[in-house]
A and B are shown apart, each in its own frame.
Chain A
Amino acid sequence: MLFNSLDFAIFFPIVFVLYWLVSRNLTLRNVLILVASYTFYGWWDWRFLFLIAVSTLVDFYVGKQMYKTEEKRKRKQLLLVSLLVNLGFLVYFKYTNFFIESFVDSFRLFGNELEVSTLNIILPVGISFYTFQTLSYTIDIYRKQLKPTHDVIAFSAFVSFFPQLVAGPIERASHLLPQFYKTYIFNYKLVKSGLLLMAFGLFKKMVIADRAALYVNQVYNNVDDYGGVGYIYATVLFAFQIYCDFSGYSDIAIGLGRTMGFDLMKNFDSPYISKSLTEFWRRWHISLSTWFRDYLYIPLGGNKKGKIRTYANIFIVFVVSGLWHGAAMTFLIWGAIHGIILMIEKGTFTIRKKLFNKLGLQKSNLSNHLFFGFIIFTIVCFAWVFFRANSLSDSFQIINGFFNGVNLGDVFNKNTYLIGFKPNEFKIITIAILLLFMFEYLHRTYNVIKFLNNQATIFRWSFYLSIVLTIIVFGIYGDRNIQEFIYFQF
């Protein structure tokens, strides 16, 4: 079920009302969450519910058994069972074809042609997300950082919690699971702020992301038909598309959770105003970055085993992160680019600091923000080319176009900036993006919601109505089809 669908518009109010009717009975409430979550997921394809169920039951059992024993070997074996089951599903459904293709390609490099066909495997929606979420549970128990739950219903609800089931935020058991043991009292203000956040997420998704997709898809799916300026516009728009798509989803998820009394972790924090790539990764897909930090980077040794190992660990984490996003060389390169830039950033930290101090670039002022923000945004956009392109050859063609195919006359050419757009859409998306950034900038220093709450009813209601009407009038839906959230494919 998509958040931006009529099905969900009917599903959510029903679940919401039922939820608060049974909220005082913990078991009944968790059963309701579980049923709602399985319905939500099964709406897409009920056959894959068994994957979630198996994953849940295995980790529930493993967690309990692991806690019972102090024997290190047995604990390791149990952890291995959890890893094998969860990562086994993930590898089979997500990476089988990638491995087959890579195997065939590597043979081809040596002049041998292999006649192997790929398998017809459907990638279950959200498998990368719930697998990582449930893995955090068993790993934390293995590390003795968490006690296992004995409530299978609460645990099942935690794994399949519908607001964040298919595209995160990837929650830690230590943060989310205890929330399933608490009863909540209906909090009008909290619910209202949740609904507002949902509306904001829908705005990002339907007005900006899905509109940008019209341009981006047209260029990236027909690379041969366009040139340098078209590639630049498409890549910049993709940067906004993926941000608004994914952060929009996260906003809806967090808002949904809030309407039910749950507190889900922040997943984005204005990443495009970062002044370094390190900062960018502290602000982008925070739940995944911290997951990799805690469950891959630190176990690999983090920064405790010397400079070379630190750089190697960074590189490994980002290559794995790339592959987590998608089973293709393009994602791997995307991850590698980020890994390499981060290594350079870390390696040149002291020199840069001295140099910037001398040049006066270290001060926190607007011009420095803009200067470094622009550089980081350019680097991120460069890497997005690999993330979005349909193939490696397309990526290289686009990058070649950046450097060799830019015709300045195309910059203000209608035929270029209106690719895939109807008249005036370029203006609308530009205004919407500017409004979004203004709002985010303001919200960092000033609580806009609090400001709203202090206003007269008529002003507040006019504002709420304006948001809904803006989505209705300027959103992309209907004839031009509802776009799935990009991160559903991961």
Chain B
Amino acid sequence: MKKLVLKLLVFVAILASLLVYFDSFFIENDNSSVSSYRTVYEEEKESVSLVFLGNSHQGKGLDTNIINAKCETNSIKINGGGINIAQIYYNLLETLKYQSPQIVAIETWALIDKGVRYNKIIDSSGNLMASPYKMEYNKRFGKAKYKEIASIYPKSKLFHMFNAFRFHENWQDTEKWSKSLYSKFTYSASERSLDKKINWHLSFDRVKKYNEKTFSTEGMELTAYEEKYINKIIDLSNSNGFKILFYSVPVYRPFYNKTKEGFDVVHKEIKRISKNHKNVDFFDLNSLTTGFDYTCMMNEKVSDNQHVNYKGQIKTSALLANYLNNNYSLELKGVFQNNFLNTPENLIYNTDKVKQEEDFIGSVNKINGQFYNDIKGDKVITIPKHIMTINLEGWMHKNDISSSIGDKIVAFKKNNNFVYVVREDQLRERKAPMLVKKYGEDFENGGYELKLSKKLLETGSYSIFHIIRDKNKKYHMKNTYKRIIIE
């Protein structure tokens, strides 16, 4: 019998190892929430100084590339749609297994948002009310995952502990599954977590609806249940030696004005907690900015919940980075697994430190039909107030890089507080026969065109930069020395 028991134990151990190994194959890897979480595992151990935790407001509202570039540090953000402070606590618990951050920044929307899942957290049966985005499944098999699973599904822990059990039917939707697997094997988690659908601003129709809508502040409070989990996070901060920074991503200004009373109730409590604990700090971007205007918000349905677009993300990240630089001395703890220095943002925000590459050539030809070549002196094109769209045509080429349109980036830099990086999927291919004629076949894919709503940029003067990505995913930058003025 000993032989059988021993063999069975070995068998169960192999089976469990296989289930644990294949755990991440069963979750939707192309989902930005999942990916945001998995960044924890992709970074080198003990290489992160700054951890951002929150829900979708943070997910859409913060660009860690900007934070990293401006603060010269390593940061990761972990967010899941609709998660509450208890889930944020469990996310932190898991993160601390891999990282020893200096600062843990927690976005406050999870505390401000109303509803029983946020305010009460635990249901009448004593179970944790988790968000429908299933953050608990993104964690690796271990103690933190077990604790969270046990608090959400106390009666079926084993089933929920292994994704191979919980999502065993994923294979049925082969299209979805293969998309997830493709994403897992092709992109890093931080690449996957980039939300590319954020370059739209709130439409006038929705602006009108927002302005007409009334919002209730009932339930916008910091309950004892929420404070219990804040205290748990503070305990972790004491035992692990990190500081806690509560911060808020700005909401839409009319909403903020209509519900300021509710925000104040919660913020007052956070300030009280911050006063009582030397480890806790609070940076309220909502009161600082009084919310963002419609050009910084995504074109989403009218509800209490709004997300900022890329423009809002740039402004939030810059403000937060400035606050961090002014109040903390952040370390560069190690090298990012994804090479944090190798981001378009790092090149653009630190142009003075980047060496210009001679073989990276290109030009911005024209904007809204006006050629730069026709302009004498300072190469500046002005977009007047009444023009709403920027149509830009140009080309770029770097020797030995046969780049496709997906590898090209254009950036507009106003100053280090506002740099708009036009992501790969916003540029379109443009046939440039003249280039081929002049430089040869290698330049066939050099041309690009870009159509951008002017409202996504702030008013002011911008330098235009070209960025290209080579086959090793390394970015190269070139100043075009062309400028644009947004009136």
Contacts and interface: CB of A to CB of B under 8 A. Distances in A.
A186 interface: yes
Contacts of A17: 5
Contact of B18 (A188, A424, A469, A477): A469
B165 A478 contact: yes
Contacts of B359: none
B172 interface: yes
Contacts of A191: 4
Interface in A406-465: 422-425, 461, 464-465
Contacts of B159: 6, 477-478
A465 B174 contact: no
B18 A465 contact: yes
A29 to B, nearest CB: 14
Contacts, number: 52
B4 A192 contact: yes
B168 A472 contact: yes
B11 interface: yes
A465 B165 contact: no
Contacts of B353: none
Given A469-B18, A478-B165, A464 B171 contact: no
Interface in B1-42: 1, 3-5, 11, 14-15, 18-19
Nearest to B3: A188
A116 interface: no
A191 B168 CA distance: 29
Interface of B: 1, 3-5, 11, 14-15, 18-19, 156, 158-159, 164-166, 168-169, 171-174
B15 A468 contact: yes
A366 interface: no
B173 A473 contact: no
A381 B158 CA distance: 39
A17 B169 CA distance: 33
A400 B3 CA distance: 59
Given A423-B173, A472-B164, 13 more contacts: A6-B158, A188-B4, A192-B4, A424-B173, A461-B11, A468-B15, A469-B18, A473-B168, A474-B168, A477-B165, A478-B159, A478-B168, A479-B169
17 contacts: A6-B156, A186-B1, A188-B4, A422-B169, A422-B173, A423-B172, A424-B174, A425-B172, A464-B11, A465-B11, A465-B14, A465-B18, A472-B168, A477-B165, A478-B159, A478-B168, A478-B169
A271 interface: no
Identify which of B14, B158, B159, B172 gathers the most chain A CB atoms within 10 Å of its CB.
B172
A6 B4 CA distance: 21
A473 B4 CA distance: 26
A340 B421 CA distance: 81
Nearest to B162: A472
B15 A465 contact: yes
B160 to A, nearest CB: 9
Contacts of A461: 11, 14
Contacts of A472: 19, 164-165, 168
A488 interface: no
Given A17-B5, A186-B1, A468-B15, A424 B172 contact: yes
Interface centre among B14, B15, B164, B168 (most CB of A within 10 A): B168
A469 B254 CA distance: 54
Nearest to B164: A472
B4 A475 contact: no
Nearest to A425: B172
Contacts of A186: 1, 4
B168 to A, nearest CB: 5
A282 to B, nearest CB: 35
A465 B18 CA distance: 10
A465 B12 CA distance: 9
B424 to A, nearest CB: 32
Contacts of A464: 11
A425 B156 CA distance: 25
A20 interface: yes
Nearest to A421: B172
A22 B335 CA distance: 60
A406 to B, nearest CB: 28
B4 to A, nearest CB: 6
B6 to A, nearest CB: 11
Interface of A: 6, 17, 20, 186, 188, 191-192, 422-425, 461, 464-465, 468-469, 472-475, 477-480
A273 to B, nearest CB: 30
Contact of B174 (A423, A473, A474, A478): A423
8 A-B pairs with least C-beta separation = A422-B172, A186-B1, A424-B172, A473-B168, A20-B1, A188-B4, A423-B172, A191-B4
A188 B4 CA distance: 7
B227 to A, nearest CB: 34
A472 B168 CA distance: 7
A480 B167 CA distance: 12
A97 to B, nearest CB: 34
A256 to B, nearest CB: 15
A473 B19 CA distance: 10
Contacts of A425: 172
Contact of A478 (B4, B11, B166): B166
Contacts of A424: 171-174
A423 B11 CA distance: 32
A421 B19 CA distance: 26
Contacts of B171: 424, 473-474
A17 B172 CA distance: 38
A473 to B, nearest CB: 5
Contacts of B164: 472-473
Contacts of A468: 15
B22 to A, nearest CB: 9
Nearest to A192: B4
Nearest to B170: A473
A15 to B, nearest CB: 14
Best-surrounded residue of B3, B164, B169, B171 (most CB of chain A within 10 A):
B169
Contacts of B15: 465, 468-469
Contacts of B18: 465, 469
B309 to A, nearest CB: 35
Contacts of B174: 423-424
Nearest to B173: A423
A229 B166 CA distance: 34
A425 B11 CA distance: 29
A188 B5 CA distance: 10
A431 to B, nearest CB: 13
Contacts of B173: 422-424
Nearest to B166: A478
A468 B165 CA distance: 12
A468 B17 CA distance: 13
Which residue of A473, A477, A479 has the most chain B CB atoms within 10 A of its CB atom?
A473
Nearest to A10: B158
Contacts of A6: 156, 158-159
A335 B4 CA distance: 45
A422 B170 CA distance: 10
A310 B158 CA distance: 56
A24 to B, nearest CB: 12
A20 B5 CA distance: 11
Contacts of B166: 478
Nearest to A480: B169
Nearest to A468: B15
Nearest to B14: A465
Contacts of A423: 172-174
A188 to B, nearest CB: 6
Residue among B1, B11, B15, B171 with max Cβ neighbours from chain A (10 Å): B1
A213 to B, nearest CB: 15
Nearest to A21: B1
A418 to B, nearest CB: 11
Contacts of B165: 472, 477-478
Contacts of B169: 422, 478-480
Nearest to B156: A6
B288 to A, nearest CB: 45
Contacts of B14: 461, 465
